[in-house]
Structure 1
Amino acid sequence: MLFDSSVRRELWRSFIGTLVVLLTVVLTMVLIRILGQATKGAFAPADVSLVLSYTVIGQLPILIALALFVAVVSVLSRLWRDSEMVVWQASGARQFNFVAPLLRMAWPVLAVVAFSTLVARPWAQSQTQVLKYRFEKRSDMARVSPGQFQTSSDGKRVFFIDSHSDGQHTGKNVFMVLTDKGQESVVTAREGQLRVDKESRYLVLNQGERTQTDLTTGDKTLSKFEAARILVGEVVDPQKLAPDVRSLSTHALLGLHNNKDAAGELNWRFGLVWAALNMVLAGLSLAAGNARRNSNWNLVYALLVFVVYFNLLSLSQNWVVQGKLGWLTGLLLVHGGLTLGALAVIWWRDGALLPGQSVARKTGPAARLKTKGSQA
């Protein structure tokens, strides 16, 4: 009982500390990248916090799996380094005895990984897609920030509205340059309003003038108007778009038969959940050391295994998308192989795989001391 509780308590402390550090680093990196995308017009600046939240939700399963792996390797390596593992082994604890407390500690974490991978991540992807599409397809008037020049989504129009405008439905002192089919038009108006007619958006300008130039001949035409209407876009419902497979729910993906992209996404999602379990077993098999050698090579090897393993996860997804493997076959080949390999290494460390190793242990110093005592 003491063995089980002490191991789990230390694992939880290490896991929470590692996860906090990883979240802090990832939040900083993601925030910088999202702010850069917002300045380039990928989405509305007001949606930065939402996009940041959805992105972190999408990255959460990998972060949790990595934090769990680092916690297992670091805690067990410390037990070896401080000779506590020798004490547990002298008390009769084998490597396989650590599997039970590790799984008791890890099952809530694995449940969170499964929920975030199969449910939360697709939902976050769909919400991010809707936000980006709404910003890209909204009207040119809504794309303009008051007091700044802005190019339309098709690159044919340049807008400027006065800083006193609301920037959504009404613009004051509108300036617009339109270039299309060898004609360049410069339009100025005192006021512009956005109106929707059926499935089209129109910009209604009041009290303005238009200077049209033929780019081929250089001829110019000047005209004034009290009211003019310019088509600026179409009204499209984002819910009617063909969604990305990453934004589809797991239940919907299971219903898409003979779809290679859907099969590849299923392979990635279920593989990530299985990978989190494998990280626990791999951490136990890799965390072994010698108290006489103070080195952290075990952690380096463990991180290398993590990088290679998750690259294999992406590679297996590509194989499934290309039709080289079925998604269930890919799961069994990559993740089942690592599970068997980790269990085999643990078995070997316990001396069950090599029978001669147990004999060698019996002929060690303790056995020789026992033999001398019996001879005396």
Structure 2
Amino acid sequence: MIVFRYLSRELLVTLSAVSAVLLVIIMSGRFIKYLAQAAQGMLDPGVLLMIMGYRLPGFLQLILPLGLFLGILLAYGRLYLDSEMTVLSATGMSQRRLLVYSLAPAALIAGIVGWLSLGLAPQGVAEVDRILNEQDSLTEFDTLVPGRFQTLRNGTRVTYTRELTADRTELAGVFISETNLSSATGEERGLSVLVAESGRQEVQPDGSRYLILENGYRYDGNPGQANYRAIQYDTYGVLLPKPEVSVELSAREAMPTSELFGSDNIRMQSELQWRLSLPLLVFIVTLLAVPLAKVNPRQGRFLKLLPAILLYMAYLALLIAARGSLDKGRIPPALGLWWVHGIFFAIGLMMLYWEPLRLAIDKRRAVSGGAHA
């Protein structure tokens, strides 16, 4: 029991450290993407942390199996390097017993991954979809940031305001540059620039929103040419896109797991098998990692790390490829993703029993050779 607690503690500490590092790397990349969208006025900066929080379960369900795999390699590799595992082996610690001890922390991680993949992750995706749909319904007026040029409408409009009141109803020092596109060909047909001393938002009874600009100029023309047209105005109205709120969740990743069971849709079955595969992945990578963690102290603890990572990547890549084939109907649902797990389960068993089998064969040959002599 003391050995079990010691091994579990070493494994869980290493797992936590590795998973934390991977989580920071992945979330940083995703946060930078959302931050760029917020800088362009496509997202309200106030919802960034909410989006990242709802995406967290989806990140963790993929990070934890990898963290466990690397945790076993690093933790047990250190024990082999420090000859601690040699001492344990002298007391009867075989790789099979080490695997049994490792399956207890693996069961804990599998339970967490199952909770995430079957419950929290779909709920998080649903909330992110809801937030993004609400963001799509915002007008340009709702996402303006004072003192910043913002690119809107897929880069065809640049908007700037020097000042904006807290209730977002009044602007001062307005600049709008818009590229005119041909409705037939989509080619550029010149540039329109609006400048105004002030502006305000006005909502019509039918729900249409206008940006009313006051005391300004409009310039129309083509860059590089001298035939610009300048118009001075006292009041000028700019139609803002009418909000189209859509909270319908069409993504299968956002569907509750209970709705996937019993579905005849091949894509729904593929999603269900993917969610069930993630907890199963935890046990199989444990089976793979235990024999791979055994290293010779003279060779160093990182000798098998690169091949082990490549093996894990091959496992995950084959799962993703099988999922895509299942989506397209190339693989029968009964076979689904299970054949991938079967292949790597067989690889794990082969690696676990290969050395004892080889030693038994060598011993039999030695006995046979001695008998003949």
TM-score interval for Structure 1 and Structure 2 normalised by the shorter chain: 0.7 to 0.9
The reply on whether 1:287 has 2:293 as its aligned counterpart is yes
- 1:374 maps to none
The correspondence for 2:331, drawn from 318, 325, 333, is 325
Describe the superposition over 1:175-197 as per-residue Cα deviations: whole angstroms up to 9, x where unpaired. 55665777968474743124264
Deviation at 1:68, TM superposition (A): 0.7
1:349 equivalent in alignment to 2:355: yes
More off after superposition, 244-253 vs 164-173: 164-173
Alpha carbons 2:136, 2:244 under 8 Å: kept:
no
Quote the offset at 1:210 in angstroms.
7.5
**1:243 corresponds to which residue?**
250
Using the size of structure 2 for normalisation, the TM-score is 0.80
Aligned-residue CA RMSD (Å): 3.6
Shift in Å, 1:126: 2.6
Residues 1-376 of structure 1 correspond to what in structure 2 (within 5 A)?
1-153=1-153, 158-166=158-166, 168-172=168-172, 174-176=174-176, 179=180, 186=194, 188=196, 190-195=198-203, 197-198=205-206, 200-203=207-210, 205=212, 230-240=238-248, 242-254=249-261, 256-260=263-267, 262-294=268-300, 296-351=302-357, 355-357=360-362, 359=364
User: Which runs of 5 or more residues in structure 2 are unaligned?
Assistant: 183-188
Deviation for aligned residue 1:277: 1.7
How far does residue 280 in structure 1 lie from its aligned partner after superposition?
0.8
The verdict on how the C-alpha distance between 1:358 and 1:87 changes in structure 2, with shifts beyond 3 A counting, is farther
Tell me the alpha carbon deviations over residues 221-263 of structure 1, each in whole angstroms, 9 at most, x when there is no partner: 968666x7654222322313x5222222222333542243x33
Cα displacement string for residues 253-294 of structure 1 (whole angstroms, at most 9, x for unaligned residues): 33542243x333333322222212211111113222334444
**TM-score with structure 1 length normalisation?**
0.79
User: How has the CA–CA distance of structure 1 residues 21 and 143 changed in structure 2, closer, same or farther, with 3 Å as cutoff?
Assistant: closer
- Superposed CA deviations along residues 43-100 of structure 1, whole A, max 9, x for unmatched, are 2222232233334432112221111111112222233333333333333332221222
Counterpart amino acid of 1:299? L
Return closer, same or farther for 1:209/1:324 CA change in 2, 3 Å cut-off: same
State the AA in 2 paired with 1:324. Answer: R
Counterpart-to-counterpart distance in 2, 1:206 and 1:87: 81
Task: Figure out how many residues of one structure are paired with residues of the other and give that number.
Answer: 359
Amino acid aligned to 1:356: I
Which residue number in structure 2 is paired with residue 371 of structure 1? none
Change (3 A) 1:157 1:341: closer
Distance 1:41 1:78, change over 3 A: same
For residue 337 of structure 2, give the secondary structure of its aligned residue in structure 1. helix
Q: Hey, what's the Cα distance between the residues in 2 that align with 1:128 and 1:190? A: 35
Question: Does the C-alpha gap of structure 1 residues 232 and 253 become closer, same or farther in structure 2, counting only changes over 3 Å?
Answer: farther
Task: Return the offset for 1:212.
Answer: 8.6
| Separation in 2, partners of 1:295, 1:207 | 71
Query: In the alignment, which residue of structure 1 is the partner of 2:185?
Result: none
SS of equivalent residue, structure 1 residue 330: coil
Gaps in structure 1 of 5+ consecutive residues: 369-376
Q: Which residue of 1 is the match for residue 186 of structure 2? A: none
Q: Which moved more, 1:73-82 or 1:228-237?
A: 228-237
Q: Give the match's secondary structure for 1:163.
A: strand
Identity in percent:
21
Whether contact under 8 Å (1:177, 1:185) holds in the other structure is yes
CA contact (8 A) 2:41 2:140 kept: no
Q: Secondary structure at the match of 1:269?
A: helix
Which stretch of the first structure deviates more once superposed, 206-215 or 60-69?
A: 206-215
- Paired residues of 1:34 and 1:52 also in contact (CA < 8 A): no
Q: C-alpha offsets along residues 320-371 of structure 1, whole Å, 9 cap, x if unaligned?
A: 12211145523211012212321232133333x88524546989xxxx9xxx
